[in-house]
Amino acid sequence: MTYIEGFVVAVPAANEDAYRRHSETVLPLFKGLGVTRMVQAWGNEVPDGKVTDFKGAVQAKSDEVVVFTWLEYPSKAVRDAANQKMMNDPAATDVAKNLPFDGQRVIFAGFETLLDLGPGGGQGEGKGSKLGYVDATLMPVPVANKAAFRDWAAQMAELFREYGATRVLDGWGDDIPTARSPTSSAR
């Protein structure tokens, strides 16, 4: 089943073109490591939260935009192998030296796919869906409630699709690193 690696980063608004060029540069590298799809969503409606929010998670400054990205892999094993290869790949090291954003404020995690409803309404059919507007949420769910969350997500997916969503993808975080200290290096 598809495995998702999600990223949230704050990018200076003035670096939008540089960020797009960066994305175009890294996509072939990622594809060579097994990525089947990369989606980049430039934040245009990122509200302030009451307890926490995307901006706070990446310490976004007033002149920065929150970008939400995910990479799709055919499996967690392929993703794990890709991450191991990236750590030793000179091309990946070179790309990491010239980021158009502060790489130390990136948050990332791996997600097991719980639900992937695409245009045809069947499991996994979202892979070919057209790009559109992305709504994203991150929420804590008690581990004991995984089955209940999946049931709730399936009900919400029906509602979202009824109101125009072309793809609904829900993932369950299973490889979520703990916070790094400010002096640790970015991945």
pLDDT at residue 179, as a whole number: 67
Could you tell me the pLDDT band of residue 130, with boundaries at 50, 70 and 90?
A: low
The radius of gyration of the chain from alpha carbons, rounded to an integer in Å, stands at 17
How far apart, in whole angstroms, are the C-alpha atoms of residue 119 and residue 54?
28
> Does residue 120 carry a pLDDT above 90?
no
Please state, in angstroms and as integers, the Cα–Cα distance from residue 125 to each residue in 77, 115, 130, 150, 163, following that order: 21, 11, 12, 18, 18
Which of 151, 137, 165, 143 is closest to 68 using CA atoms?
A: 137
Cβ atoms of residues 73 and 83 within 8 Å:
no
Q: Which residue bears the tokens 């070179």?
A: 94
Could you tell me the pLDDT band of residue 121, with boundaries at 50, 70 and 90?
A: very low
Torsion angle in degrees (nearest 10) through CA of 163, 40, 177, 146: 20
Percent of residues, the chain, with pLDDT higher than 70: 88
Q: What is the CATH number of domain 3-175?
A: 3.30.70.100
> Does residue 91 carry a pLDDT above 90?
no
DSSP H or E segment with residue 114: strand 107-117
pLDDT at residue 131, as a whole number: 62
In the chain, where the domains are located: 3-175
> Does residue 3 carry a pLDDT above 90?
yes
**17 against 186, higher pLDDT:** 17
Q: Which residue bears the tokens 């995984």?
A: 146
> Does residue 87 carry a pLDDT above 90?
no
pLDDT at residue 168, as a whole number: 87
Longest dimension (CA), the chain: 47
User: Cα–chain-centroid distance for residue 76?
Assistant: 15
